[in-house]
């Protein structure tokens, strides 16, 4: 099975959050897709954690080492189509990239972001449930 995975789920795994084990179980036999933007969102997530004093550079380096081991196929998505999705759903482009990736690859979406989940379902994307 193939799955589009978002930043929230990846951060949960590499940051050892409570939902880590369930995400790993859900994706254990899956191939993972993500839009190229997810790679940069990981860095942004850590910068936000630094600002909130929720992580150190040492922990970030360890988490990034784990992230590099996750086999993800990064998908190029159309900027034009992303803007259309963003406008239609009144969402940020980063969420639209994920929706478009799931559409383009005909895969379900794995996210912990409830806003993204609602938007994806509105676009007819199947969202995998991961209880947090």
Cα–Cα–Cα angle for 59, 9, 105, nearest 5°?
Answer: 135
What single-letter DSSP state applies at residue 131?
A: -
CATH number for the domain spanning 99: value is: 3.40.50.1010
CB 48 within 8 Å of CB 21: no
Q: In the prediction, which pLDDT does 130 show?
A: 84
Range of the domain at 8: 2-128
pLDDT digits (tens, 9 = 90+) for 42-71: 999 999 999 999 999 999 999 999 999 999
Residues in the chain, pLDDT under 70? 131-132
Phi and psi based region of residue 23 (left: phi greater than 0; alpha: psi -120 to 50; beta: remaining): alpha
Q: In the prediction, which pLDDT does 100 show?
A: 97
Q: In the prediction, which pLDDT does 132 show?
A: 54
Q: Where are the alpha helices (DSSP H) in 1-132?
A: 7-14, 20-27, 37-51, 57-69, 79-89, 93-105, 114-122
Q: In the prediction, which pLDDT does 59 show?
A: 94
Q: What is the dihedral of CA 10, 13, 15, 17, to 10 degrees?
A: 120
Number of domains in the chain: 1
């Amino acid at each position: 099975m193939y799955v589009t995975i978002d930043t929230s789920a990846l951060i949960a795994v590499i940051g050892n959050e409570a939902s880590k084990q369930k995400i790993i179980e859900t994706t254990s036999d899956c191939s993972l897709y993500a839009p190229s933007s997810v790679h940069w969102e990981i860095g942004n997530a850590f910068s936000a954690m630094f600002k909130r004093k929720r992580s150190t550079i040492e922990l970030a380096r360890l988490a990034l080492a784990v992230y590099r081991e996750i086999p993800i196929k990064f998908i190029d998505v159309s900027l034009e189509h992303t803007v259309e999705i963003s406008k239609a759903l009144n969402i940020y482009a980063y969420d639209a990239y994920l929706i478009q990736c799931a559409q383009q690859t005909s895969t379900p979406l794995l996210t912990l972001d409830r806003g993204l989940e609602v938007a994806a379902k509105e676009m007819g994307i199947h969202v995998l449930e991961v209880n947090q």
